Amino acid sequence: MRIIKTAALVAIVFVLAVSCQNNTFPWWAYPPIGSENKIVDLTVTETIALEVGESAPSTVEAIITYDSGRTATVQATLSAVDTTTAGTVSATASYKGHSVEIVVVVYNTENAVSNLKEFTSAISTASENAVIVIDGAVEISSASSKITLNKPGMRIIGDGGKIVTSVNENVFVITTNDVVIDGLVFETTATAGETNLINLGTSNGTVIKNCNFSGNFGTNDNTSRGFVIEAGATDFTIEGCTFTNLRQPAYINGVKSGSLINNTITGTKGWVICQDAELTEISGNRFENNIEDIAIILQNDDAKTEYFYTQEKCLEISKANNNCRIEQQVLDFRVQNGQITNR
Q: How far apart are alpha carbons 104 and 46 in whole angstroms?
A: 10
pLDDT at res. 23 = 44
Contact (CB, 8 A) for 149 and 174: yes
Of 323, 243, 227, 242, the C-alpha closest to 279 is 227
Q: How far apart are alpha carbons 101 and 78 in whole angstroms?
A: 10
Of 262, 323, 266, 293, the C-alpha closest to 61 is 262
Q: What pTM was computed for the model?
A: 0.83
Q: Which amino acid is at 229?
A: I
| Domain ranges for the chain | 1-30, 33-106, 109-342
The DSSP string of 269-309 is S-EEEETT---SEEES-EEES-S-SEEEE--SGGGGG--SS
Q: How far apart are alpha carbons 165 and 116 in whole angstroms?
A: 11
Query: What class is the 109-342 domain?
Result: mainly beta
Of 89, 134, 131, 83, the C-alpha closest to 112 is 134
Give pLDDT tens digits along the chain (343 positions): 434 444 444 444 444 444 444 444 444 444 444 445 689 889 898 889 999 999 999 999 998 888 877 788 899 999 999 999 988 899 999 999 999 999 898 988 888 999 999 999 999 999 999 999 999 999 999 988 899 999 999 999 999 999 999 999 899 999 999 999 999 999 999 988 999 999 998 899 999 999 999 999 988 888 999 999 999 899 999 999 999 999 999 999 989 999 999 999 999 999 999 998 999 999 999 999 999 999 999 877 665 556 789 999 999 999 999 999 999 999 999 999 889 999 8
Q: How far apart are alpha carbons 291 and 302 in whole angstroms?
A: 28
Neighbouring CB atoms inside 10 A of 75's CB total 14
Question: Do the strands 185-188 and 147-149 form a parallel or antiparallel pair, or are they unpaired?
Answer: unpaired
Residue 180 in 3-state DSSP? strand
Residues ≥6 apart with Cβ < 8 Å to 183: 46, 47, 49, 157, 158, 159, 161, 209, 210, 211
Residues ≥6 apart with Cβ < 8 Å to 132: 111, 113, 119, 122, 123, 126, 154, 155, 156, 157
pLDDT at res. 303 = 58
> Is the torsion defined by CA of 190, 192, 197, 202 positive or negative?
negative
Residues ≥6 apart with Cβ < 8 Å to 124: none
> Is the torsion defined by CA of 177, 206, 180, 184 positive or negative?
positive
Of 147, 190, 185, the C-alpha closest to 165 is 190
pLDDT at res. 10 = 45
Asked if the 33-106 domain carries CATH number 2.60.40.3630, the reply is: yes
pLDDT at res. 321 = 93
DSSP H helical segments within the chain, as ranges? 2-22, 116-125, 311-320
